[in-house]
Structure 1
Amino acid sequence: MEHGAAHGPDPTLIKDLLVFLIAAGVLVPAMRLLKMPTIIAFMLAGIALGPFALGHFAQDYPFLEYFSITEPEAAMPFAELGVLFLLFLLGVEFSFARLWALRRVVLGAGSVQTILSAVAIAATGVLLGLDLATAMILGLALALSSTAIVMQVLVEERRAALPAGRASFGVLLFQDMMVAPILIFVGFVTLKSGANLGGVLLDAFIRGLIAVAVIWFVGNFLLDRVFRLAAASGGRDFLMALTLLTVVGAGAITYSAGLSVALGAFLAGLLVGETEFKHQTEVDLEPFKGLLLGLFFMTVGMGLNLPAIASQIGWIFAALAGLIVVKVGIAYLACRLFAGRHPVSIEAALLLAPAGEFAFVVLTAAQAGRAITPDLAAFVSAVAGLSMLLTPLLGQLGRRLALRRTEAPDANGMELKEPAEFESHVILAGYGRVGQAVAHVLRSEGVMLVALDRDPAKVHQARLDGLSAYVGDAARPEILELTGIGKADQFIVTVDDAVRAETMVRCARSLHAEMLILARAHDGEHAGRLEEAGAAHVVPEAVESGLQMAGMALEAFGYDTETVRDRLALVRDEEYRRA
């Protein structure tokens, strides 16, 4: 009996798992009923159930042990998987074209925000009496933001695809690339040897390039073939295993090169997003991502040392306020220069102002190398953790401040500024039944739309629906220029006239070479002509009609809805590749 118990599951881990599931399935939904953001709900649950709240009192009241997390460190590997899944799925939704379009934000806004924030925080530390090396470590630790929390806030609020979401993501992507140099610098300071920092950084840069090259090679030449083999051999079970291998494997490759594991997961997502298995992986990973991210947010809450915070509450709040003010100002400047106008910059700046989970990694490494004292590490950790807890609230504040600077709508819901002043918007050519369906979906996600149609009745309906809509022919360049096509993100053609559709696509492409163009086609032949004209993605009506009928037939045979959706997604990708 004792022998079996010794080799059985750890009772403490089972109890901690039950506590987490109760929190995720009961406590967090109860807090959500109070209109509390999911992230804050998970973090508060982590604080309450962690070692510094109920866990602390369990020493005097043993029954509380059954309502608290005993070993938070055991959950960290699973929590980090949640972050990997989030970045992987963001990569799946992205594309190399969209990533290249963000290069100005990544390199410009990202570098300005990261470098200036680190310098400002380090300078403040020196003024407060810290030595230069310690101050620089703290500056680098607090300069970065939380990719997991910021992106989850944007995904929850359906704002990840909007300008502020793209600006935030661009800065976060640069920060992830800075992980290796920062850790190398911290290690260099802790060693205090005669090592050549420039040589170490060059070595890290070369290893990083090799890691990215390996991921790119595997993704472009092997990934699609291996996915096809798994699908042919065993269906969803093998595909799920292969997806997990792709996420974790890419993270391991970048980690071995000294880069962020999150960066590896994002690159893997980009590559999977180029295959026909894109939709399948999204469906399979979504439930795991939500639960594991919840566990990650709980571990952040569990790491807040409440007694230590209470003993220095005044200084901690002062440092927290100073951190937010400094980083908001610098992030606003960076985004204003490289990412967009005031509303975009202020919303992104407030999202990026708090510290991130990387601060704990830097502080742990610095403390292990005796570069900072335990008391200072505990103080900075408290500031970083509390700032992360504020991220959703600061995001809401940024959104409200951005909306306050946006011109008020008129009686029809129209914005008073001219379409030519818009940026990062979508131009919709045609407002018939297809155009109305497209507009309904995009409007529900908060996308800025400008509709064009030659039929005044359809334009009137678009205005009643709350769109900026105008009578005009989208095949004429002067009309498109008035809609601000030079700053538009997308141009969507929904008209059923084949010749006019091709003319519209050619006209739009001539005015904006890098814009994403989507078009409606009658059949495969028409789709080919639209792609030659400049459309990036074409939807053949014949294919979609056939898929819809096939889906109905499968459901009539007893297939469940999820299986039908997955099968259709795979066939759809194959048909579009043929078209």
Structure 2
Amino acid sequence: MAAADTSQLFHVVVLLAAAVVAVPLFRRLGLGSVLGYLAAGVAVGPFGFALFARPEAILHVAELGVVLFLFVVGMEMRPSHLWALRRQIFGLGPLQIGACALVLSGCGLLLGLRPAVAFIAASGFVLTSTAIVMQMLAERGDIATPRGQKMVSILLFEDLLIVPLLALVAFMAPAQVAGDGGSRLLSIAIAAASLAALVAAGLFLLNPLFRLLATARAREVMTAAALLVVLGAALLMEMGGLSMAMGAFIAGVLLSESTFRHQIEADIEPFRGLLLGLFFLAVGMSLDLAVVAADWRFVLLAVPLMMCAKAACIYAVARALRAGHADAMDRAVLMAQGGEFAFVLYSAAQSAGVIPGEVNNAMTAVVVLSMALTPLAILVTRGARRRRAASMDGVEPASGQSGSVLIIGFGRFGQVMSQSLLARDVDVTIIDSDVDMIRSAASFGFKVYYGDGTRLDVLHASGAGSARAIAVCVDDAGAADRIVELAKGAFPQARLLVRAYDRAHKLKLVAAGVDVAIRETFAAALQFGEAALRELDVDPGEAARVTAEVRKLEVERFELERMAGFGAGAGMMRTNTGPKPTPLTTPRRQARVLGPDGEPGDDPAGPPAPGA
């Protein structure tokens, strides 16, 4: 008993030591943590120092790292955000995967595989490693950026694709292996029931569960509950024949609107990091060097051929959809490898008699090598990124700042709004992610720090935790929404003022509970209209009165749409196609109403407030 316990403890110590030694070394060399984990796995695995004999057992446990990672990603993907990405998930995803599957199948034929075997080999290699790509994006802070969101959308579709691919393998199986159609229909029914049960539990049980546990004020119980939700969802999906990672992702999405999401994410973060590292270690251990040596010609040809063909397809699709060269190249290099779901597909295909065992072993080695080569491919293509990084000289990143007001985004809108604060000597901190703009602002005497406001660590470094107000002045509605979500959860002490892109965006911001939402063109357009009236020789007082009436009508229309939904106030608009409108002669009312842009203000029948 003691000897067995000592052996298990020895293996744990070896894994920790391998990670502690290899990862910092590889990061120091600029090769990234993923390659460090993979190299450490090869070194301690059965084909290195042989300290582990059964890496597949560790890989099965380590897959929980991918599960936890997908859960965290799911919590960042609110249903409304997923709906906004629907065209990328079900448009860009199928287009890229279809093109890659067709070309890679041709590569399989060139390598001497039979058509059915070539198709399965290609389908497995098409499934990019979610763990590697998401880890790389996280290290670069690119998950929330537009280029990162496109890659996340494709990865989500690939995770969904594993289910029909496994079903296709069952249909391709020889008659004596495949079984009858009734069992297939039963499997589909079980999978659908598992998915429905998970969604029902997420909608009706999860939030009440965490609300009940929060009253106990026991941190360890909340942590246990978070792990229970993730692993329970993964188990339910696995029992239904679906992907564990997809189950965790769905659970995360269902909790994305929860008030407990930030607490849950913080609770599982240590487990996610450790298990994800263990996953990469186990992948490295799984690289069978004997298979590589026995079939070295096939492997030597297949790895570069598959990776280059897949990268070329991804680049071509990205450029066809009008992505820039840099974004297309970045996506092609990051997603050129096979992924962990290929192991599942190849094993299922071998069990079903669709591909022979030697092809399974060889293609598994090809996928593992492609995963190991991805960080090196990124290093080779890092020249352009380094040149961009060199252009950061003289730009100071946000770190340890403090101020009464944090301004995020210093374009035209942010520059103008800052003048009122600076006129009263308010202590402001300004961040922006546009290097050229930061340098331009410096030439006018402004100190602007470099920082991406959609990242929580950057907000902390910029002093959001001590700010009395956070002014979100970015010109990207999606980025503004992300900042609002982070600020509402992490910095409740700060008043939140947000630049709204348009009417629909302002309605969304008001629903999110921001303190002030200002439409970026509203006040300027009102002033423009008033100037037009004056140029038509309308009395200045009358022009001001008409502008105030238009402002009042706009406020009433906005309130109607806030209560009844977007578009409900369309009938209140004056158009040039209907009957001639009645002149604005609404009598003056003495009442406290919403002001120029939906904020409390004076009676709108009077003159417009200065600077409205």
TM-score exceeds 0.5: yes
Deviation at 1:463, TM superposition (A): 7.5
2:503 pairs, out of 506, 510, 535, with 510
Per the alignment, residue 541 of structure 1 pairs with none
Query: What is the correspondence of 1:286-305 to structure 2 with a 5 Å cutoff?
Result: 286-305=269-288
State the match for 1:50 in structure 2.
45
Contact 1:46/1:299 (8 A) holds in 2: yes
Between the aligned partners of 1:393 and 1:533, the Cα distance in structure 2 is 57
State the distance in 1 between where 2:559 and 2:55 align. Answer: 56
Alpha-carbon distance in structure 2 between the residues aligned to 1:356 and 1:118: 14
- Among residues 111, 114, 117, which one is paired with 2:97 in the alignment? 114
Alpha carbons of 1:199 and 1:149: their partners in 2 closer, same or farther (altered >3 Å)? farther
- Post-superposition offset of 1:450: 9.9
* 1:72 Cα deviation after fit: 1.9
Rg larger in structure: 2
Structure 1 CA distance, aligned partners of 2:513 and 2:322?
28
Aligned-residue offset at 1:74: 2.9
Asked if the contact 1:109–1:339 (Cα under 8 Å) also holds between the matched residues in 2, the reply is no
Q: Given the superposition, is the C-alpha separation of residues 95 and 28 from structure 1 closer, same or farther in structure 2, using an over 3 Å criterion?
A: same
Structure 1 residues 338, 48: CA separation in 2 closer, same or farther (over 3 Å shift)?
A: same
Distance verdict in 2 for CA 1:121–1:403, change over 3 Å: same
Amino acid aligned to 1:386: L
Tell me if the contact between 1:117 and 1:330 (Cα under 8 Å) persists in the aligned partners. yes
Give, in angstroms, the shift of residue 146 of structure 1.
0.4
Q: Percent identity?
A: 34
For residues 224 and 484 of structure 1, the distance between their equivalents in structure 2, rounded to whole angstroms, comes to 32
Give the structure 2 partner of residue 61 of structure 1: none
- Residue 484 of structure 1, CA deviation: 10
Q: Relative to structure 2, which stretch is displaced further, 303-312 or 34-43? A: 303-312
Gaps in structure 2 of 5+ consecutive residues: 396-408, 453-472, 488-495, 518-554, 563-612
Give the direction of change, closer, same or farther, for the CA distance of 1:221–1:395 in structure 2 (3 Å limit). farther
Partner of 1:357: 340
Cα deviations by residue, 1:175-215 (Å, 9 ceiling, x for unpaired): 00011111111222234469799999887766555444333
Q: What is the match of residue 515 of structure 2?
A: 521
- Give the whole-Å Cα distance in 2 for the aligned partners of 1:286 and 1:382: 31
* Cα distance, 1:147 vs structure 2: 0.5
| Per-residue deviation, residues 43-69 of structure 1 (Å, max 9, x unmatched) | 0000011001111xxxxxxxxxxxx22
Q: CA deviation at 1:360?
A: 1.4
3-state secondary structure, aligned to 1:318? helix
Change (3 A) 1:457 1:157: closer
Question: Are the structure 2 counterparts of residues 237 and 187 from structure 1 closer, same or farther at C-alpha, using a change threshold of 3 Å?
Answer: same
Residues 55-70 of structure 1 mapped to structure 2, 5 A cutoff: 55=50, 68-70=51-53
1:526 paired residue number? none
1-structure distance, mates of 2:119, 2:105: 5
Tell me, yes or no, if structure 1 residue 180 matches structure 2 residue 173.
no
**Which residue, 223, 236, 261 being the options, matches 1:278?**
261
**What's the TM-score, normalizing by structure 1?**
0.70
Q: CA deviation at 1:265?
A: 0.8
1:492-547 per-position Cα deviation (integer Å, ceiling 9, x unaligned) = 799xxxxxx98x856x2238689979896389xxxxx9x97999xxxxxxxxxxxx
| Equivalent pair of 1:167/1:335 in contact (CA under 8 Å) | no
Partner of residue 39, structure 1: 34
Within a 5 Å distance, the mapping from 1:197-216 to structure 2 comes to 209-216=192-199
User: For the Cα contact (< 8 Å) 2:190–2:240, is it kept in 1?
Assistant: yes
Q: Is residue 225 of structure 1 aligned with residue 208 of structure 2?
A: yes
Give the Cα separation in 2 of the matches to 1:304 and 1:194: 29
Which of residues 19, 29, 36 in structure 1 aligns to 2:14? Answer: 19
Task: Mark the CA change 1:488 to 1:83 in structure 2 (over 3 Å): closer, same or farther.
Answer: closer
Residue number in structure 1 paired with 2:480: 490
AA aligned opposite 1:521: D
CA RMSD in angstroms, aligned pairs only: 4.2
- CA shift digits 1:422-458 (9 cap, x unpaired): xxx997634468996462xxx5xxx558989xxx989
Post-superposition offset of 1:391: 2.2
Tell me what 1:164 maps to. Answer: 147
Structure with the higher helix share, 1 or 2 = 1
**Counterparts of 2:146 and 2:96 in 1: how far apart (Å)?**
17
Matching of residues 249-328 of structure 1 within 5 Å: 249-328=232-311
Within 5 Å, which residues of 2 pair with 1:381-420? 381-396=364-379, 400-401=383-384
Equivalent position of 2:86 in the other structure: 103
Shift in CA distance, 98/141, structure 1 to aligned 2, threshold 3 Å: same
State the partner residue of 2:444. Answer: 460
Aligned partner of 1:575 in structure 2 is none
* Deviation per residue, 1:127-165 (Å, 9 max, x gap): 443222211111111111000111011111211112221
Instruction: Tell me the distance in 1 between the aligned counterparts of 2:179 and 2:428.
Output: 62
TM-score by length of 2: 0.66
Summarize the Cα distance change of 1:231–1:186 in structure 2 as closer, same or farther, 3 Å threshold. Answer: same
The 3 A distance-change label for structure 1 pair 73 and 205 is closer
Instruction: Give the C-alpha shift of residue 486 in structure 1.
Output: 7.7
1:115 Cα offset (Å): 2.0
SS in 2 for 1:52: coil
* 1:136 to 1:87, Cα distance in 2 relative to 1, 3 A: same
Q: 1:379 to 1:133 in 2, by over 3 A?
A: same
Is the alpha carbon distance of 1:365 and 1:224 closer, same or farther for their aligned partners in structure 2, counting shifts above 3 Å? same
Give the structure 1 partner of residue 610 of structure 2: none
Q: Which residue of 2 aligns with 1:343?
A: 326
Deviation larger for 233-242 or 43-52: 233-242
One-letter code of the match for 2:101? A
Q: 1:305 to 1:407 in 2, by over 3 A?
A: closer
CA distance in 2: counterparts of 1:388 and 1:347, whole angstroms: 16
Give the distance between the partners of 1:128 and 1:152, measured in 2 at CA. Answer: 32
- Supply the AA of the counterpart residue of 2:503: S
Q: CA separation in 2, counterparts of 1:337 and 1:245?
A: 44
Cα distance change, pair 14–204 in 1 and its aligned pair in 2 (3 A)? same
Determine the structure 2 residue equivalent to 1:554: none
